[in-house]
């Protein structure tokens, strides 16, 4: 539990102390966000998409580690986990690319950010193989996943949920949140 709240504290400190010009979570003017002559149509959407890409990259890194180590222990379990992660990476990519596309009008920029956020997963597997292999155990996995969960909860409550309410009908985002929690609870029950 302490590590979960440590993850929340870590991302809150990053959000607070990174200089505004470098922090994707800070509001900027259109002129500040203009990239190579591309006009940013909606800076808030670009901010949300960029921050989602960062959060998903952080989230995907330990998933790569988990997929790699589970495949080492039981290849059939590794394949099942890899398939499950690949399926849930689809909405993650959409969460990054759609706001970036609508903010900039650039399919290339939307694809690039979505691709880069997903690339941290295979990088996590490579790091697990090259560096962490001797140290991987159940305790380390618990620490990594608790910290990442705290980071994702903070980002969801601070940025994603308010943005979803702003750009959609008032209750749709809450229904989606509850439906997502139900799907996760059901998937956990199926693995017991």
Residue-level pLDDT at 170: 66
pLDDT band at 41 (very low <50, low <70, confident <90, very high): confident
Q: Give the mean model confidence (pLDDT) for residues 44-54.
A: 81
Residue-level pLDDT at 182: 84
- Residue 149 reports pLDDT greater than 80: no
To the nearest whole number, what is the mean pLDDT of the chain? 76
* Residue 27: strand, helix, or coil: coil
Residue-level pLDDT at 191: 64
Q: Within its chain, how far is the Cα of 44 from the centroid?
A: 18
CA 43 – CA 100 distance, rounded (Å) = 9
For residue 187 the two structure tokens come to: 């998937």
pLDDT band at 19 (very low <50, low <70, confident <90, very high): low
Q: Give the mean model confidence (pLDDT) for residues 32-58.
A: 70
In sign, the C-alpha dihedral spanning 123, 156, 39, 168 is positive
pLDDT band at 128 (very low <50, low <70, confident <90, very high): confident
Task: Output the pTM of the full model.
Answer: 0.56
CA 17 – CA 23 distance, rounded (Å) = 9
- Which of the given ranges, 36-40, 86-90, 122-126, 175-179, has the highest pLDDT on average? 122-126
Total domains in the chain come to 1
Q: Give the mean model confidence (pLDDT) for residues 175-180.
A: 81
- Residue 26 reports pLDDT greater than 80: no
pLDDT band at 183 (very low <50, low <70, confident <90, very high): confident
Residue-level pLDDT at 25: 47
Q: Give the mean model confidence (pLDDT) for residues 126-140.
A: 82
- Cα of first residue to Cα of last residue in the chain, in angstroms, is 22
Give me the domain span that covers residue 146: 2-190
């Amino acid at each position: 539990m302490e590590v979960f709240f440590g993850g929340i504290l870590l991302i809150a400190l990053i959000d607070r102390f990174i200089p505004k010009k470098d922090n994707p979570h800070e509001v900027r003017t259109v002129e500040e966000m203009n990239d190579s002559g591309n006009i940013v149509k909606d800076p808030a959407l670009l901010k949300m998409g960029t921050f989602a890409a960062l959060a998903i990259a952080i989230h995907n890194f330990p998933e790569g580690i988990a997929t790699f180590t589970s495949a080492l222990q039981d290849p059939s379990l590794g394949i099942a986990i890899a398939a499950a992660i690949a399926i849930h990476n689809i909405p993650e990519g959409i969460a990054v690319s759609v706001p970036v596309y609508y903010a900039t009008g650039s399919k290339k920029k939307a694809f690039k950010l979505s691709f880069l956020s997903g690339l941290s997963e295979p990088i996590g597997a490579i790091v697990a193989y090259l560096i962490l292999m001797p140290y991987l155990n159940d305790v380390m996995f618990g620490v990594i996943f608790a910290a990442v969960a705290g980071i994702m909860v903070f980002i969801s409550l601070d940025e994603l949920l308010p943005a979803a309410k702003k750009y959609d009908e008032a209750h749709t985002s809450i229904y989606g949140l509850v439906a997502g929690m139900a799907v996760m609870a059901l998937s956990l029950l199926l693995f017991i």
